[in-house]
Amino acid sequence: MLFHISLTWALIFAGAAVTLASEKEKHHRVKPEEISALIQAADKIVVYGVGYAVADHVNPSPGHAVLYTSSDPKDISELKTALTIEVPKDWFRCACMPSIEIVLFRKDKNLGFISVYEGQMIGFSPWSSDARIQDVEKWLGWFDARKISGPRQEVQLERDQEEASRIAEDRWMKAMPESLRPIWPKAIESMMPGQKSDTKALELSLAKEYPDVPQRIRALMSWFGSGAGPWSGFPMYEQLAEEMLLEYRTDDLVAAVKDVKLSEQQTEGAARLFAGWDFNNRRAADNGLIPGDLKQALLGHSLKSTDGDKVSRARAAFERK
């Protein structure tokens, strides 16, 4: 659920630009029967690879590979059967480039072209909206049978990303302090991109679970250190833990983690906080309040990572100048 919340905001931003299109662009709705009729009328299909120039379907520029071409009625008929379309309730455009384009010809005349996005969405040249494939496996099977691997790879990549996000979400929820779980859904719903969240209810609930301030901070550090992994470009919901930590003064944050044996998650959370953009943007002068031995411990932890962004941020924050 949390992944979909952060993804939703990304789509909202992408969609905001799309909705600036004039109403005139929305006049030709998705009609499955229309694309079926044109496929049936075609006597030749040509499948082009990534980057094929939509503007020139007869003479694509060099480097735009022809992945498959056929005038076999069986190929064309099976394309028609494989293409099951979910008619969208609302107009939408995929904010991405097509990876495959299928051009339909009859007697060498271009009837139209099908743009394939992320393996399971299509655009059709006469339509003003894109559409999703209803039977994805049947659709991918058409490409598989013709040794066109791209669409299935794209779909599998998306599935892998969704699974990785689910695992990260599970880890985040398990690491969350118990007292925050009942009010977490409401806190997430109130988040707005680019705006500081109201964390008062979360803070009050956490204080009841952890009356001792250093213990409370370490609980937050552990939670903040249990995210998806990146220190930048992370799921938006992780920002709440960081905002809660930044409600504390730097000397309190430092006191909670210095001269204490920290867990791996607490160490990650402390390194992430003190090397993070928000801390260094708001409290640049406070870097000097972090003791040298603590900096070295956090740097050593961070250098174990293979994430180049994380390593560079840690070096900038913790290495001796």
Q: Tens of pLDDT along 153-182?
A: 999 999 999 999 999 999 999 999 999 999
As a whole number, mean pLDDT of residues 120-138 equals: 91
pLDDT at residue number 22: 42
Residue 118 in any domain: the answer is yes
Q: Are residues 119 and 198 in the same domain?
A: no
Q: Are residues 143 and 180 in the same domain?
A: no
Q: Is 297's pLDDT higher than 50?
A: yes
Q: Is 23 exposed, middle or buried (0-12, 13-18, 19+ CB in 10 A)?
A: exposed
Q: Are residues 95 and 211 in the same domain?
A: no
As a whole number, mean pLDDT of residues 303-318 equals: 96
Q: Are residues 109 and 243 in the same domain?
A: no
Q: Which of the listed residues 155, 185, 216 is the one where a domain comes to its end?
A: 155
Q: Are residues 14 and 141 in the same domain?
A: yes
Residue 160 in any domain: the answer is no
Q: What is the pTM of this model?
A: 0.69
Quote the CA–CA distance of 152 and 97 in Å, as a whole number: 16
Q: Are residues 136 and 241 in the same domain?
A: no
Which tokens sit at 269?
């959370």
Residue whose token pair is 């250093």:
214
6 vs 231, residue with greater confidence: 231
As a whole number, mean pLDDT of residues 8-33 equals: 52
Task: Output the CA–CA distances (angstroms, integers) from residue 216 to 132, 240, 258, in the order listed.
Answer: 47, 15, 14
Question: According to the per-residue pLDDT averaged within each range, which of 90-104, 124-138, 204-218 is highest?
Answer: 204-218
Residue 168 in any domain: the answer is no
Residue whose token pair is 């051009």:
103
pLDDT at residue number 20: 37
Q: Is 314's pLDDT higher than 60?
A: yes
Report whether 7 contacts 237 (CB < 8 A): no
Residue 216 in any domain: the answer is yes
Question: According to the per-residue pLDDT averaged within each range, which of 5-14, 55-64, 153-162 is highest?
Answer: 153-162
Tell me whether strands 44-48 and 100-106 are parallel, antiparallel or unpaired. antiparallel
Residue 164 in any domain: the answer is no
Residue 266 in any domain: the answer is yes
Strand partners, 117: 121
As a whole number, mean pLDDT of residues 68-86 equals: 95
Q: Are residues 47 and 183 in the same domain?
A: no
Q: Are residues 117 and 212 in the same domain?
A: no
Q: Are residues 216 and 134 in the same domain?
A: no
Q: What is the percent of the chain with per-residue pLDDT over 70, rounded to a whole number?
A: 85
Q: Which of the listed residues 155, 190, 218 is the one where a domain comes to its end?
A: 155
pLDDT at residue number 94: 82
How sure is the predictor about 256, in pLDDT bands with cuts at 50, 70 and 90? very high
Report whether 202 contacts 208 (CB < 8 A): no
Q: Is 59 exposed, middle or buried (0-12, 13-18, 19+ CB in 10 A)?
A: exposed
Q: Are residues 21 and 134 in the same domain?
A: yes
Q: Are residues 182 and 284 in the same domain?
A: yes
Q: Are residues 187 and 95 in the same domain?
A: no
Residue 166 in any domain: the answer is no
Residue 161 in any domain: the answer is no
Q: Which of the listed residues 155, 185, 219 is the one where a domain comes to its end?
A: 155
Domain that holds residue 203: 176-318
Give the number of domains in the chain.
2
At position 11, the amino acid (one-letter code) is L
Burial readout 246-269 (b: 16 or more C-beta within 10 A, e: otherwise):
bebebeebbbbbeeeebeebbbbb
Chain Cα centroid distance, residue 1: 13
